[in-house]
């Protein structure tokens, strides 16, 4: 069974467009199902939650349905382990604030030089309490994070390690289960940024036993919204971020000050409806979870083909420096492909690409520390082509022809 691209593309009305979208790690197109659900919420459920009257009860039920669906997407054991917020950046700032009370002077937190600033900056806030922040650096030859390097810096005082599941520049899948087990064995918690992972492979927070795990729904085919998983034992202990009189026991609402956006939370559920539908097209049997996993198997296979094609082309050039794994068949690779071209500026390449009506991006992608380590400044950052499962082989051919003309 291969991915039914006609079905896939029919679910994203914005793809009916002369532009080709290859900046998907910046934000994907939205599913029609999500837009429909936003409308449905506004026209049928637009009252404040928590009232005794029937429409208010229905609105509460719709909001809870959104949370339940996203819990399925994370494979969380409990719906209440999911926190909604406007972005991953905000959710990780909330997390660091609500965890701060558990940190003491001399405790250590490890962040990586591979991460987007969203999963670094919030942890630096703990320095005000006397917490020591250490860096787990990538290996600049392999562009990967190696456990041997973490071994050198983790100590009995390490309380948390914040790392990315996939870097939005390197595109390599970090072995989250192995890293988490190692970090737990040293008595520390993990906080994983999965923004660049979640659109490409099935998430399974239960199997991986992560403590905190977040991603942006607007980069995973949904509306401009985000979700954070907090394992229940931690969720119970997190400090309340809502009003002073709001109880610590109000789970997960204590982490959603001023309430999460109702219509976007409800609408995000359509991401799950879509994946279940995608995973049911060859066979109807199985649980929702199994269908989601089947959908991601189809997605990964299609993306691997695209990845191979693009990396084969880039490797065939003698002036291209590919960041991360350069073999598209490697299962540890997602199709977020960044590179530089000798003696060419990345911004110039992107501006030239605009004429071909193909949307790509250049820069440091807010992973400034990684960009500095890889010395990308000399090129005005990297060129990034970030594909997703709705991109086609024809689009990729169009991209390769355009790149060839621009770079010649």
Ligand X SMILES: Cc1ncc(COP(=O)(O)O)c(C=O)c1O
Binding residues for ligand X, per CB under 6 A? 25, 87-89, 116, 118, 164, 168, 193, 195-196, 216, 226
Q: How far is the CB of 197 from ligand X (least distance, A)?
A: 8
Tell me whether residue 40 or residue 137 sits nearer to ligand X (CB atom): 137
| 3-state class (DSSP) for residue 238 | coil
Question: Could you tell me which of 344, 308, 226, 303 has the C-alpha nearest to residue 8?
Answer: 303
Three-state DSSP at 307 gives helix
| CB-neighbour burial class of residue 218 (10 A; exposed 0-12, middle 13-18, buried 19+) | buried
- CB of 223 vs ligand X, minimal distance in Å: 12
DSSP H helices in 119-203:
121-124, 147-153, 176-185
CB closer to ligand X out of 116 and 309: 116
Q: Are 125 and 97 in contact (CB under 8 A)?
A: yes
Q: How far from each other are the two terminal CA atoms of the chain, in whole angstroms? A: 38
Q: Considering the complex, what minimum distance in angstroms separates the CB of residue 172 from ligand X?
A: 12
Minimum distance from residue 324 beta carbon to ligand X (Å): 14
- Nearer to ligand X by C-beta: 69 or 88? 88
Choice between 45 and 388, CB closer to ligand X: 388
Q: Minimal distance in Å, beta carbon 366 to ligand X? A: 6
The residue among 110 and 298 lying less far from ligand X, judged by its C-beta, is 110
Our CB check for ligand X shows the closer of 193 and 303 to be 193
Check: CB of residue 65 under 8 Å from CB of residue 266: yes
Q: Is 250 helix (H, G, I), strand (E, B) or coil?
A: coil
212-216 and 189-193 as β-strands: parallel, antiparallel, unpaired?
parallel
- Contact at 8 Å (CB) between 116 and 195? yes
The minimum distance between CB 112 and ligand X, in angstroms, equals 11
Which among 233, 189, 236, 203 is positioned nearest to 71, based on CA atoms? Answer: 203
- Least separation in angstroms between CB 367 and ligand X: 7
Q: Which is nearer to ligand X, 219 or 309 (CB)?
A: 219
d(CA 47, CA 224): 21
How far apart are CB 187 and ligand X at their closest, in Å? 26
Are the C-beta atoms of 180 and 208 separated by less than 8 Å?
A: yes
Residue nearer to ligand X on the CB measure, 164 or 388: 164
Query: Quick one: tokens of 402?
Result: 């355009």
What tokens does 29 get? 């197109």
């Amino acid at each position: 069974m291969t991915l039914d691209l006609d079905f896939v593309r029919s679910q994203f009305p914005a793809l009916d467009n002369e532009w080709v979208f290859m900046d998907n790690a910046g934000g994907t197109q939205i599913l029609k199902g999500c837009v429909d659900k936003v409308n449905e919420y506004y026209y049928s459920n637009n009252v404040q939650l928590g009232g005794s009257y029937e429409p208010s009860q229905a609105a509460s039920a719709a909001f809870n349905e959104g949370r339940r669906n996203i819990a399925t997407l994370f494979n969380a054991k409990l719906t209440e382990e999911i926190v909604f917020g406007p972005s991953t950046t905000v959710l990780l700032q909330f997390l660091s604030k609500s965890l701060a009370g558990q940190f003491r002077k001399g405790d250590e937190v490890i962040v990586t030089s591979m991460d987007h600033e969203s999963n670094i900056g919030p942890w630096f806030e703990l320095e005000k309490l006397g917490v020591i922040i250490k860096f787990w650096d990538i290996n600049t030859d392999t562009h990967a994070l190696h456990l041997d390097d973490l071994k050198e810096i983790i100590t009995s005082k390490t309380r948390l390690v914040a790392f990315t599941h996939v870097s939005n520049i390197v595109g390599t899948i970090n072995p989250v289960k192995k890293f988490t087990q190692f970090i737990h064995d040293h008595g520390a918690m993990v906080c994983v940024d999965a923004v660049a992972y979640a659109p490409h492979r099935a998430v399974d927070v239960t199997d991986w036993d992560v403590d905190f795990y977040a991603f942006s729904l607007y980069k995973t085919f949904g509306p401009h919204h985000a979700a954070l998983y907090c394992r229940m034992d931690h969720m119970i202990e997190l400090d309340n971020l809502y009003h002073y009189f709001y109880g610590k026991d109000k789970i997960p609402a204590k982490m959603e000050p001023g309430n999460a956006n109702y219509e976007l939370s409800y609408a995000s559920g359509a991401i799950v409806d879509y994946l279940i539908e995608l995973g049911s097209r060859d066979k109807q049997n199985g649980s929702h979870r199994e269908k989601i996993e089947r959908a991601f198997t189809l997605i990964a296979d299609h993306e691997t083909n695209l990845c191979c094609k693009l990396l084969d082309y880039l490797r065939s050039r003698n002036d291209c420096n590919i960041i991360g794994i350069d073999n598209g068949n490697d299962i540890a690779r997602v199709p977020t492909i960044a590179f530089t071209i000798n003696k060419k500026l990345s911004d110039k390449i992107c501006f030239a690409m605009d004429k071909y009506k193909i949307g790509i991006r250049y820069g440091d992608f807010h992973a400034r520390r990684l960009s500095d380590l890889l010395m990308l400044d000399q090129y005005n950052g990297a060129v990034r082509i970030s594909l997703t499962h709705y991109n086609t082989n024809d689009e990729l051919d169009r991209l390769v022809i355009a790149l060839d003309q621009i770079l010649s």
